[in-house]
Structures are given as C-alpha cells and as structure tokens.
Amino acid sequence: MRTRYFVSRSGLPSTADTQDLKRLRVLVANERQDRLADVAGLVAGLGHEVIAPQIEVSEVGPVTAREHPDVAFVGLGESSKHALELIEQIVHEASCPVVALLHAPDPPFLIEAARRGIFAYITDGDPQEWQNSIEIVLRRFAEFRDLEGAFKRRTVTERAKGILMERHTVDEERAFQMLREHARRTQSVLVDAAQSVIDGKSLRREA
C-alpha cells in the first residue's frame, strides 16, 4: 500500500480531536461500483461508521456539508481527465479532508491532482495501513488548518495596519501599537480588533 499526502485548498472543519481516533464517521463514494462494497467493508472493519456509500462521486461535496463526516474516501477509478475534474470539484465543495482511492496512479496524474487540491491518495493495502493513513491524514489536515488560520490572521492584521497608517499618517510600528491598545480596551484578541478596523467600526478618531 502507498499513501501520499498533499495540502488541501479546502476551507474545512476543525479537526482538533485528531489525537483521539476512535469511531470516525467516514463518507465513502466510488465510481467503480464493484469496489464500493470492498472499501465500505474495509472502513467498517476498522470500527468506523460508513456514511452514504450509495451516493455518486459528484455528490460528495454537498453530502459532506450536510452529514459532517470526519473524512471522505473517494474512489476515482482510472487516472484520467475526468478524475482530475472530479478532484477539483470535490475539493472545492467538501467540508472535510478528502482522500482519493486510486488504482495504479501515474506520476503526471498525481502532480496535477496535487495542483487541484487533493489532500492525499491511497492505493490498495491492508486494513491496518489504512487506519494508519487515516490518522496521518487527519493530523496533517489539522496542521494545515492551523497554518491556514495563522496566514489569515496575519493578512487581516497587515491590512488593518495599512488602513491605520493611511488614515492617521502614522508609521507601521505606531499602527500596530494602536491595534494592540484597542484590543486591550475592548478586551478582544488582536485579529478581532484588526477586523473591526477593516470593517470601519473603530479607531477612526484615535491617534
């Protein structure tokens, strides 16, 4: 069995509980109906709950938003342009980490799949290795969300500083100090104070 990991572009749910991997809710969909029962059985055999295995692959995104699974396993059959289009659609719509189940994927396909945002892929293997893969995927997804959040907080803060520098004709250091002072006065975190500046709700008259 081979497992490979990529960074997903999806803005997806919190995975703070990844250290406690007990019974997970796993969405399973497969373009190859002859493989669907095998995959669902393997996941269930690991002690996890299988969600909606009868859905079409194209429905994965909306179903994750409705059912809130912990992870989605999506079988895409052969490496093809059609599979790449499905990957792009699923990753854009899904609300959980998505793992592609691929049969003998070729390197060019994997490179393009990573560009389109797939989080990981798994090829055939034994159940224990699948369980290990699930754990790694969820932990890496949590790391990605933490990093994504850090980038977002920094972007908001930098934008707010720019607004204050222009509005009050102050330098970057003074703008940052104004943000910190406002956060203390309002008993809010820095990123919330920065967002209020962007929204035009505060610090208009403060020097």
* pTM score, whole prediction: 0.57
Distances (CA, A) of 196 to 34, 152, 160, 185, 188: 54, 15, 8, 13, 10
Q: What is the pLDDT of residue 116?
A: 79
Q: Is the pLDDT of residue 19 over 60?
A: no
Query: Is it the case that residue 10 has pLDDT exceeding 50?
Result: no
In whole angstroms, give the CA distance from residue 105 to residue 99. 14
pLDDT for the residue numbered 2: 42
* pLDDT at 170 (0 to 100): 92
Per-residue pLDDT reduced to its tens digit, 111-126: 887 787 776 777 766 6
The vertex-138 CA angle with 5 and 58, nearest 5°, equals 75
Token representation of residue 85? 């289009």
Domains of the chain and CATH, by start:
3-145 (3.40.50.2300), 148-198 (1.10.10.10)
Separation in Å, CA 184 to CA 191, 194, 204: 12, 12, 17
